[in-house]
A = this chain, B = another copy of it.
Amino acid sequence: MAHINENYLKLPGSYLFSEIARRVNVFKDENPEADIIRLGIGDVTKPLPEAVIKELHAAVDEMADASTFRGYGPEQGYDFLIEKIIEFDFAPHGVNLAIDEVFVSDGSKSDTANIQEIFGTDNVIAITDPVYPVYVDSNVMAGRSGTLGADGKWSDMVYIPCTAENGFVPQLPTEKVDLIYLCFPNNPTGTTISKEQLKIWVDFAKENQVIILYDAAYEAYITEADVPHSIYEIEGAKEVAIEFRSFSKNAGFTGTRCSYTVVPKECMGYTASGEAISLNGLWNRRQCTKFNGTPYIIQKGAEAVYTAAGQAQIKALIDYYMYNAKLIREGVKSTGIEVFGGVNAPYIWLKTPEGLDSWSFFDRLLNEVHIVGTPGAGFGPSGEGYFRLTAFGTKENTEEAIERFTKKFKL
């Protein structure tokens, strides 16, 4: 008899975005004329950069000719792309990587969800709270969660609150932990930490033979000098950290799908008997067995991000969204509502006014100014009482939304 993986049954429904959609639909039915502006979902709206478009066309043409056609590529990605990644994304920050330490893939969601496979099911998982749900759910599915409590926490996971009270700087856990997910610049809070603050985590990981799973999908939005672009800027991090990067948010690849993961060869996990095993080899084996590479066409498009034109164009894209971020941040702030993020990230995280819970504020925003955002409670227990707005809308919509917002909520 085929038995299912019963861990799946522990997962509550993907409540957040479906509940948002449900409430928006109810509102639309009752207010068919309302001009709803969506500042909720973390999806980009601007087209792909011209340099990328040009190279995608060229790659499609290559696939039309037997002499340039590409069949199966390396599961790890093509060297032409990996070389550029190392040269542009790491070398300028003093980080040297080898070609076989970078694994190109189809998305950071896949990679951050799949990475736990190379670890034993007995590891204790630590997450910052609020958090990107994929880190949690992929570990629930693998059997590392225990049971879900009434407080919204899984009994076997360690929650590290990041709230206004601690300035959104995660504090070292007092419990035993084995794998830690960190995301900076952070989704959903839009906040980040300094090199000095990150070093505390790297030192902790080294001391305790813990692995840090470092999601830097929003790295391109960093504007401040002391914020690390890569965890490998911190001395010794290569021994304890795996880093995830994506083309989704810097180059608009959310629907085009390309990302990469760095697994340094000196990064070690351990057998039950304490033998150190390089995680690079395990991830390589995982990818070679269960993945057949990112499409050649898409990898060529991603390579174009590193041309001079591509670099200028993605800078313009990021500037566009960061103009929105500033607008949202300053607009919300002007009402007297406490606001965080939006300086090194396209996310603005606000403290709901008048002690409203996240969903009540969602309803007010929708009903009174026809703006859709994301309730902070959807990202974990410590997100309650917070609310996320994103800078990925159009400039015009964002300006209109903030005008409505400031008029209504002026304290």
Measured CB to CB, the residues of A under 8 A from B are: 1-6, 8-9, 11, 14, 41, 43-48, 50, 53, 56-57, 60-61, 63-66, 69-73, 106-107, 109-110, 113-114, 117-123, 134, 137-138, 141, 178-179, 208-211, 252, 254-257, 269-272, 274, 277, 279, 282, 285-286, 288-298, 394
Residues of B within 8 A of A71 (CB): 43-45, 252, 254-255
How far is B290's CA from A286's CA once the two chains are assembled, in angstroms? 15
- Given contacts A53-B63, A110-B292, 20 further A-B pairs with CB under 8 A are A1-B209, A2-B209, A3-B122, A4-B119, A4-B277, A6-B271, A8-B285, A9-B277, A11-B285, A44-B71, A45-B66, A63-B256, A70-B255, A71-B254, A113-B289, A137-B289, A141-B286, A257-B292, A297-B297, A298-B298
List the 8 closest A-B pairs by CB distance, nearest first.
Answer: A113-B290, A3-B120, A4-B269, A43-B71, A70-B255, A2-B211, A71-B254, A1-B209
How far is B285's CA from A14's CA once the two chains are assembled, in angstroms? 9
Instruction: Please state if B255 and A1 are interface contacts (CB–CB under 8 Å).
Output: no
Residues of B within 8 A of A295 (CB): 106, 255-257, 295, 298
Q: A48-B64, A66-B46, A71-B43 are in contact. Are A256 and B296 (CB under 8 A)?
A: yes
Can you list 5 pairs linking A and B with CB atoms under 8 Å apart? Answer: A4-B277, A6-B271, A8-B282, A57-B60, A110-B291
Instruction: Please state if B72 and A4 are interface contacts (CB–CB under 8 Å).
Output: no
How far is B394's CA from A69's CA once the two chains are assembled, in angstroms? 13
Which of A9, A56, A282, A295 counts the most chain B CB atoms within 10 A?
A: A295
Instruction: Please state if B290 and A110 are interface contacts (CB–CB under 8 Å).
Output: yes
Q: A3-B120, A45-B69 are in contact. Are A138 and B270 (CB under 8 A)?
A: no
Instruction: Please state if A288 and B57 are interface contacts (CB–CB under 8 Å).
Output: no
Report the minimal beta-carbon distance from A291 to chain B, rounded to whole angstroms: 6
Which of A4, A114, A123, A209 counts the most chain B CB atoms within 10 A?
A: A4
Question: What residue of chain B has the Cβ atom nearest to residue A62's Cβ?
Answer: B47
Question: What residue of chain B has the Cβ atom nearest to residue A117's Cβ?
Answer: B5
Q: A2-B269, A114-B290 are in contact. Are A63 and B44 (CB under 8 A)?
A: no
Residues of B within 8 A of A6 (CB): 120, 271-272
Q: A4-B269, A64-B53, A286-B141 are in contact. Are A255 and B113 (CB under 8 A)?
A: no
Instruction: Please state if B120 and A5 are interface contacts (CB–CB under 8 Å).
Output: yes
Residues of B within 8 A of A110 (CB): 290-292
